[in-house]
Amino acid sequence: MNSEELTKMWFDKWESGDFLNLPISNNFRHTSPYGTIEGKEAYISLVDANKDKFLGHRFEIRDAIYRSDSSCVRYTAIQGDFRLEVSEWHYCKDRMIDEIVAYYNIEGEISEERKLTTPGES
């Protein structure tokens, strides 16, 4: 699978809610303004603990650049009245997404309903 196919599958899996089958490596690393998550298991656990914030989005892809081992995608994530403009780099290795670096602006304080819960906390 090339980077374009992997990136499209990434968004398809998110829109369908199938986060357990994201095309990510076991060593997956995700960096965003919230910080860095290391490992597929840690990433899936974080999503599972915060399904209300991660699931139910649709994505409007604005621009994309595909290379053999990476993609850059600019999109709008939409969940109800919430909209977020995002640019991401997807780095691929061995037919999986190995790393994502996401850029977006979080203005002001993060509202309570948008804050993430650490897995294992209630």
Domain boundaries, the chain: 3-105
Block residue for tokens 């993609």: 71
Report CA-CA distances (Å) from 103 to 17, 49, 100.
22, 22, 10
Q: What is the pTM of this model?
A: 0.86
If you classify domain 3-105 with CATH, what class do you get?
A: alpha beta
pLDDT score at 113: 67
Q: What pairing do the DSSP bridges indicate for beta strands 24-32 and 96-103?
A: parallel
The pLDDT tens digits for 20-60 are 999 999 999 999 988 999 999 999 999 999 998 899 999 99
Tens digits of residue pLDDT in 79-89: 998 899 999 99
